[in-house]
Amino acid sequence: MKDKVVIITGGSSGIGRACALAFGRAGGKIVISARNTQKLQEVGQELQEAGVQYLAVAGDVSQEADCRRLIEETVARFGRIDVMLNNAGISMRALFQDVDLDVIRQLMDINFWGTVYCTKYALPYLLQSKGSVIGVSSIAGYQGLPGRTGYSASKFAMQGFLGSLRTETLQQGLHVMIACPGFTASNIRNTALSADGSQQGESPRDESKMMSAEEVADHILAATRKRKRELVLTTQGKLAVLLGKFLPGLTDKLVYNQMKKEPNSPFK
């Protein structure tokens, strides 16, 4: 990663922050973007203390103009782009029959369109460098999760988009990877939207039993170096993907029963 220019959306916390530090310590020049300016500055301070060259660009990936500006400022500062890490994301937890449709629109705008916008404007530079486009997706992009219809829809859409882009650029040297961390100890569940669009607050899952954001970042860095096409983490995640291919009916039942066990589950 020495002197590679790496853009990370959702870089102010969780997996995004961990990736910024991991790729930076590996020699990369890091560009972090997020809506929360204060947290973005805090991560920038961490990068500076680690001796990493960085640029922080505040912005909202659901806004096309912000994504274009992110790419323009990166190129103006560093002159190239080697990795576009589409990490910004938001989740939800509500039954489809109860959810406000604006919640699903918001998830699609951030999780899917944010990836499309950033990748679109970064693509010319990535083709020049034969770089990497990475989408931080989820097991929800392979298996529809009950109570998370909008989240699963956005991740299925992201994976379809990136899979098509991979094939489209097959002869141009572009590396495209879909990374699915499984349940990770990050703030995505705390900021997940409820049926009315409000944040759910406390996570319904035991974060202490999950893979840390730092572990996920190390895996993503290693997989980027190896130019893998797919990264599925955690035993539970790998099992869900495998069973979903060969025993989809059984997988549906197992996933339903697992989600039903969550505290304050909407299925009770």
Domains and CATH numbers, the chain: 5-236 (3.40.50.720)
Q: Which of helix, strand or coil describes residue 74?
A: helix
Per-residue pLDDT of the chain (268 residues; tens, 9 = 90+): 999 999 999 999 999 999 999 999 999 999 999 999 999 999 999 999 999 999 999 999 999 999 999 999 999 999 999 999 999 999 999 999 999 999 999 999 999 999 999 999 999 999 999 999 999 999 999 999 999 999 999 999 999 999 999 999 999 999 999 999 977 655 555 578 888 888 865 555 555 567 899 999 999 999 999 999 999 998 888 988 999 999 999 989 988 888 888 887 777 6
Q: Which of helix, strand or coil describes residue 231?
A: strand
Beta strand 211-212 pairing with 184-185: parallel
E-strand stretches of the chain: 5-9, 29-34, 54-58, 83-86, 132-136, 175-180, 184-185, 211-212, 230-232
Q: Which of 4, 5, 66, 82 is nearest to 34 (CA)?
A: 66
Class of residue 80 by CB neighbours under 10 A (exposed 0-12, middle 13-18, buried 19+) = middle
Class of residue 250 by CB neighbours under 10 A (exposed 0-12, middle 13-18, buried 19+) = exposed
Report the alpha-carbon distance of residue 174 to residue 170 in Å, rounded. Answer: 7
* Token pair listed for 236: 């539970």
Q: Is 142 a catalytic residue?
A: no
160 CB neighbour count, 10 Å cutoff: 12
The one catalytic residue among 117, 121, 151, 256: 151
Single pTM value for the model: 0.91
Encode pLDDT of 67-95 as tens digits: 999 999 999 999 999 999 999 999 999 99
